[in-house]
Amino acid sequence: MATRRTQVGIVGAGPAGLLLAQLLMQRGIATIVLEQRDRRYVENRIRAGVLEQGTVDLLGEAGVGHRVAVEGQVHGGIEISLNGQRSRIDLARLTGGKAVTVYGQTEVIRDLINARLKAGGEIIFEAEEVTPLDLTGDQPRLSYRHNGEVCELTCDFIAGCDGFHGVCRSQIPKSVLRTYERVYPYAWLGILAEAPSPSHELIYASHPRGFALFSMRPPTRSRLYLQCTPDTDLAAWPDNRVWDELRLRLGPDDAGMLNEGPVLEKSITPMRSFVAEPLRHGRMFLAGDAAHIVPPTGAKGLNLAASDVRYLSWAFFQHYETGDSTRLDSYSKTALSRVWKAERFSWWMTLVLHKASEEDGFEARIRMAELEYLLSSQAAMTALAENYVGLPF
């Protein structure tokens, strides 16, 4: 068996794991990242697109801020389309100049992998059967299999950044871990198309036929979503049906803005809210989707992974540079306080914008009143804008 040692063993090469590794490496803290998939798969997984300013700033601190600064699109507003009528929410004016940046998660991942490998950092791709061991002892370990060989990594700490279906959270005893969950009765059918998006800002559309989102991947692609049911069969959705439905949900006045182009990817995303507490067990810390999930409506998942990692990296800096573990001890409480606010916002955005399948007349009217109120009240729009651009971290 091959045995090795590092200071922080990181499970998962998603945004949380890679960003943590990069921040720690810059302060001289040794890390090894274990990732179950191969590099190509990790770099091509299409997911988030909207970065809060705090996330962009953190990428800069991690030494990977250059490309996002050049290629990311800064958006000072979003549009809400209500039954085909578009209204703009001026994020910048309502938040004292704040904005979001549209830049694909695929690009964030590529930037982080390139920077890590260039600096001589290690990512072990295709690490199989990763298992965290001895979490409550002084020397936690990660056992795994690589190229057919059984290996073991001894660590000071383990960072569980292995996403919702990862292995780290499941190692926490049931008597310790408390989970909170809401599964929604809808999903998103998403496409990536080689065509410019219909508007230069994102359009969130609430329509009697269901929700739709018109987003983009700069410089030339559109990323478009349709509310569907979780059991939707993609075979029933040939490209022309997707385009027709997108046009219908954009409404007759705006349907002409939609540009069709070759569909490069098509997938179904189920929608769930989930939080596991606490984010620490012994010497293992959870960050990102390993600990919490939000429905994508508020564009918060990747940004929450970034805020967790910021708090966790500060805690490791303090521990290694001063011997003080106060921040490691308060990490779970600090991170969860921000997580729950993003959970609330994502839940609210999801409920007001989606049509429930068994929506009764009362619920439908209340939802419509909420949207009309939102679009007519500075106070309501400010609350949305403040959360959408991201609460401070």
Binding site for ligand PHB (CB under 6 A): 48-50, 202, 213, 215, 223, 296-297, 299
Gap between the Cα atoms of 287 and 55, Å rounded: 15
Should residue 72 be labelled a site residue for ligand RFL when binding is judged by CB under 6 A?
no
Instruction: State whether residue 138 is helix, strand or coil.
Output: coil
Q: Are strands 2-5 and 149-154 parallel, antiparallel or unpaired?
A: parallel
Should residue 11 be labelled a site residue for ligand RFL when binding is judged by CB under 6 A?
yes
Query: Which helix (H) or strand (E) segment is 55 a member of?
Result: helix 53-61
Q: What is the phi/psi pair of residue 11, to 5°?
A: -100, 120
Q: Which residue in the list 144, 207, 296, 311 is annotated as catalytic?
A: 296
Q: Which residue in the list 281, 300, 319, 354 is annotated as catalytic?
A: 300
Should residue 227 be labelled a site residue for ligand RFL when binding is judged by CB under 6 A?
no
* Identity of the residue, 36 or 106, whose beta carbon is nearer to ligand PHB in the bound complex: 106
Should residue 10 be labelled a site residue for ligand RFL when binding is judged by CB under 6 A?
no
- Spatial CA neighbour of 354 closest among 375, 373, 377, 371: 371
Should residue 206 be labelled a site residue for ligand RFL when binding is judged by CB under 6 A?
no
Gap between the Cα atoms of 384 and 356, Å rounded: 21
200 noted as active-site residue: no
Residue number of the CB atom closest to ligand PHB: 49
Q: Which does 223 bind (CB under 5 to 8 A by kind): ligand PHB, ligand RFL, none?
A: ligand PHB
Gap between the Cα atoms of 242 and 301, Å rounded: 25
388 noted as active-site residue: yes
CB of 202 to ligand PHB, least distance (A): 6
Q: Which residue in the list 103, 184, 186, 204 is annotated as catalytic?
A: 204
Instruction: State whether residue 381 is helix, strand or coil.
Output: helix
Should residue 289 be labelled a site residue for ligand RFL when binding is judged by CB under 6 A?
yes
Q: Which two tokens stand for residue 50?
A: 């909207």
- Name the β-bridge partners of 214: 203, 224
What is the footprint of ligand RFL within residues 114-143 (CB under 6 A)? Answer: 127, 130
CB of 33 to ligand RFL, least distance (A): 9
- How many Cβ atoms from other residues are within 10 Å of residue 316's Cβ? 25
CB of 141 to ligand PHB, least distance (A): 37
Residue 121 Cα distances to 141, 224, 367, angstroms: 19, 36, 50
98 noted as active-site residue: no
Spell out the residues 6+ positions from residue 197 whose beta carbon is closer than 8 angstroms to its own.
214, 215, 216, 221, 222, 223, 224, 259
184 noted as active-site residue: no
Residue 167 Cα distances to 5, 286, 353, 365, 374, angstroms: 20, 11, 33, 43, 41
Should residue 349 be labelled a site residue for ligand RFL when binding is judged by CB under 6 A?
no
296 noted as active-site residue: yes
Window contacting ligand RFL (CB under 6 A); options: 40-48, 83-91, 201-209, 346-354: 40-48
The only residue of 21, 23, 24, 48 in contact with ligand RFL, by rule CB under 6 A: 48
CB of 297 to ligand RFL, least distance (A): 9
Catalytic (active-site) positions: 75, 204, 296, 300, 388
